[in-house]
A and B are shown apart, each in its own frame.
Chain A
C-alpha cells in the first residue's frame, strides 16, 4: 500500500524557516517524481515544485512563486522527501502535501497534509 506521511508543520514567525518531511512507503521511491503542493484554507491547491526520479538525475523544478525561497530534496536511502522553506510570509500559511507522480501525468497519491501557519 502506498503511503505518504508529512511531518514538521506548525507555527512559525514571519521571516522564519521551517523544514517539512514526507515519509514514503509501499512503492519504489526512486522511480517517482516527488512533489510538494500546498493549499490555503478554502482555496485551490498550488503546485510548489518537484524533484525528479533516479532516471532523470534527481533534478528539481519550482513554481516561480516560491523559487529561491523553497528547496526540495530527497534522501533515497530513507525514502524521505523534504521541503526547506525560508523567509516565510503570512501568505505561505497553508496545508502542505507531498504527492507522487510518474515522469509526467497526474498526482496519483497524496499525503494527508501538514499545516503551516506563519504568524507573529
Chain B
C-alpha cells in the first residue's frame, strides 16, 4: 500500500497568514494526489485534484503543487472559515489511501 505522510499534524496560525501543508508518498505517484478539506461534523470536500488542478467553486487562495513523492497544499492568506482538517489522498494504485491529516487551527 502507498503510505501518505502529512506534516505537520497541527498548524496554528492567525488569519491573514499564508501556509503550506505537506504530503509525502512512500513511492512515486506522478501527480495522482488530491486534497480535501473536512470541517467538524461535515463530509470531506474536494479542494484540489491531480496535485495542482483547481476545482470549481473552491476559493482561489487554495493551490497545490508537487509531483513524484512530495506534494504541497498552499493557502494564501488564511481566512476564519479555513480552520479545519486537510487530507491528501492518492489515486495511483489500489487500495486508495489517505494521509492522517493536518489540522489547521487558530493560534
Q: Do A and B bind each other?
A: yes
User: Chain A interface (Cβ within 8 Å of chain B)?
Assistant: 43-47, 61-65, 97, 101, 104-108, 110-113
Set B91, B94, B100: member contacting A106, Cβ < 8 A: B91
Query: 5 smallest A-B Cβ distances: which pairs?
Result: A106-B34, A47-B96, A110-B43, A63-B95, A106-B49
A61–B94 alpha-carbon span in the complex (Å): 8
User: Known contacts being A44-B99, A47-B96, A47-B98, is A104 close to B43, with CB within 8 Å?
Assistant: no
A111–B45 alpha-carbon span in the complex (Å): 10
Within 8 A of A (CB), among B12-57: 34, 36, 43-46, 49-50, 55
User: Chain B interface (Cβ within 8 Å of chain A)?
Assistant: 34, 36, 43-46, 49-50, 55, 87, 89, 91, 94-101
User: Is B43 in contact with A111, judged by CB distance below 8 angstroms?
Assistant: yes
User: Is B89 in contact with A107, judged by CB distance below 8 angstroms?
Assistant: yes
A101–B36 alpha-carbon span in the complex (Å): 14
A110–B36 alpha-carbon span in the complex (Å): 11
User: Is A105 in contact with B49, judged by CB distance below 8 angstroms?
Assistant: yes
Residue of A nearest to B48 (CB): A106
User: Known contacts being A106-B34, A110-B43, A112-B43, is A44 close to B98, with CB within 8 Å?
Assistant: yes
User: Is A44 in contact with B46, judged by CB distance below 8 angstroms?
Assistant: no
Residue of B nearest to A112 (CB): B43
Give, as a whole number of angstroms, the nearest-CB distance from B27 to chain A.
17
Give, as a whole number of angstroms, the nearest-CB distance from B29 to chain A.
12
Set A43, A64, A105: member contacting B34, Cβ < 8 A: A105
Give, as a whole number of angstroms, the nearest-CB distance from A94 to chain B.
13
Q: List chain B residues, Cβ under 8 A from A47.
A: 95-98
